[in-house]
Structure 1
């Protein structure tokens, strides 16, 4: 059986808000090509922060990835702008915004 190509690789990221509040520690996940991956957890578990880290939308929340790496098709992306990530196909649709109404 073929090993799937990993499109997105999040490896041991740590996120800190306001330079002091550690909100994620050691989060890792992989998204294989052609697969669907879900992030599940209770309130405050870090789901939204993980997605913001991948989309590089933490700065607006005074947050930053301080450890680990995020790769899209083998390229480190944690320092790319959100606009550059969109050009590469990384988007985030926020819930409750009536985007499709």
Structure 2
């Protein structure tokens, strides 16, 4: 077991079987590995260089902030108006997977 393994004996119900405890520890190790992999993927995402610049200033129909007011648009808003302040980035992911995925 790795140093990340937490001694589950502290939380064990003595009625648990040895097989259950063993599988629970294996599950814990898999969860730790998944957490690390997820963080590695997030780090790779944060390290990506700036992508393509959107040159067209798209126009959207902005609805009411009151969702009970219905679907009727209140006003038009340009894409350039939505992300103008510092730290207001638009991140857009477009995934195209092959047939096998």
Q: State if a TM-score over 0.5 links the two structures.
A: no
Bigger relative CO (Cα 8 Å, ≥ 6 apart): 1
Report the TM-score when normalising by structure 1.
0.17
- Which one has a bigger Cα radius of gyration? 2
Report the TM-score when normalising by structure 2.
0.17
Structure number with the higher strand fraction is 1
